[in-house]
Structure 1
Amino acid sequence: MTYPIRVRACALILRDDSVLLVEFTDANGVHYNLPAGGVEAGESIIEAVIREAREEAAADVEVGPLAFVYEYAPHQSDHVYGATHSVHLIFDCKLKEGAVPAMPANPDPNQTGVRWIPLSELHRIVLYPNLRKQIADYAARRTGTPVFFEEHQLDKYPLPSS
């Protein structure tokens, strides 16, 4: 069965005023993502968060509350990330005792690192989707009702020059 909206499970791992991000280098340069990916058939969203944190950052996590929700609707965002409509459920996660994030044994293509980025430095990196402000705001409050964001409401990056 095909679904019109892809569900993505994301781990927001905050520690010591930093956020754990997966680093990629490709034709667009260096950019970062939260450990995240699509929920697979027969898998719960929480199971997907745990699997994705392990697959992308070699990190064993405990999944906490939903931090916020992000929607990418291609028709509202000039198809900036392609044609697949997606909803990202971003959970506040904690590393399990003894867990040390690292490059996984089988990294994604173009993955070049797993990095702790200080929240005070988020404005200096490229993060896809551009949830830098939302992550910093969440880290400051860490309580309350989850917030819903749509791609077309986020700040835009300048287009790369040819």
Structure 2
Amino acid sequence: MTKPIRNSAKAVIVQDGRLLVIRVEDQYGTAYIFPGGGQDKYEELKDTVLRECLEEIGQAVTVGDLMHIREYIGKNHEFAEWDADYHQVEFYFACSLNDPTATNYEGSNPDNHQVGVEWIAFEDLSKVRLYPKKIGEMLLAQDSSKIYLGDLN
């Protein structure tokens, strides 16, 4: 039996030329992902972002406009060995921290592979393993023209 398609809502938090990301460790080393996660039944996507940010970065956010929609179809990517039957539709929202001076980023329920929360300067985005890479490139180029990005990493 195949898994159902999963919706996920993500926060794009930019402040002072930096992007707030979750640091994860996997078998390839360090990678960075956007805060956020799976939508619960009866939960609006904006509420998913709010909940997930509290769980992963320990901070309340103001959820703004939808920036991008990205699909992740596991069988088409480098993680196909264990993710082949996984299909997720991700909604990326522009967000801001309710407390922009916050220094404590300890969430109540971090992701399984999460080892930290970091600010990455835009000029360093191309030097790290960021998923999805395309959204980092678009942020760097100040290109928000394309909302639906399709299946990419």
Hey, what's the Cα distance between the residues in 1 that align with 2:143 and 2:76?
Answer: 29
TM-score under structure 1 normalisation? Answer: 0.79
Deviates more, 1:82-91 or 1:99-108: 99-108
Alignment pair present for 1:109 and 2:141: no
Figure out how many residues of one structure are paired with residues of the other and give that number: 148
Q: Is the 8 A contact 2:66 2:93 kept in 1?
A: yes
Q: In the alignment, which residue of structure 2 is the partner of 1:136?
A: 140
Tell me which residue corresponds to 2:21: 21
Distance 1:146 1:97 in 2: 29
Aligned residue runs from structure 1 range 13-162, under 5 A: 13-77=13-77, 80=80, 82=83, 83-97=85-99, 100=102, 102-131=105-134, 132-137=136-141, 140-141=142-143, 147-152=147-152, 154=153
Query: Residues 55 and 77 (structure 1 numbering): CA distance in 2 closer, same or farther, change over 3 Å?
Result: same
**Partners of 1:111 and 1:127 in 2: how far apart?**
14
Change (3 A) 1:45 1:105: closer
**What is the match of residue 160 of structure 1?**
none
Q: Which residue of 2 aligns with 1:4?
A: 4
Q: CA 1:15–1:78 in structure 2 vs 1: closer, same or farther (change >3 Å)?
A: closer
Matched position secondary structure for 1:41: coil
Contact 1:69 1:146 survives alignment (8 Å): no
Q: Aligned-pair RMSD on alpha carbons? A: 2.4
Q: Do 2:3 and 2:86's aligned partners in 1 also have CA atoms closer than 8 Å?
A: no
Q: Is the 8 A contact 2:75 2:86 kept in 1?
A: no
CA gap of 1:78–1:150, structure 2 versus 1, over 3 A, is farther
Secondary structure of the 1:43 match is coil
SS across alignment from 2:112? coil
**Counterparts in 2 of 1:106 and 1:46: CA distance versus 1, 3 Å:** closer
The 4+ residue runs of structure 1 with deviation greater than 3 A are 74-81
Pair 116,69 (structure 1): closer, same or farther in 2 beyond 3 Å: same
2: distance between equivalents of 1:32 and 1:10?
13
Q: Secondary structure at the match of 2:126?
A: helix
- Please list the CA deviations of residues 80-99 of structure 1 after superposition, one character each: whole Å capped at 9, or x if unmatched: 37121111100000111366
**AA of the residue aligned to 2:12:** L
- Counterpart Cα distance in 2 of 1:25 and 1:77: 18
Alignment CA distance shift 1:50-1:146 (3 Å): farther
Do the aligned partners of 2:7 and 2:90 also contact (CA within 8 Å) in 1?
A: yes
Pick the structure with more strand per residue: 2
TM-score between both structures, scaled by the size of structure 2: 0.84
Any stretches of 5+ residues in structure 1 without a counterpart? Answer: 155-162
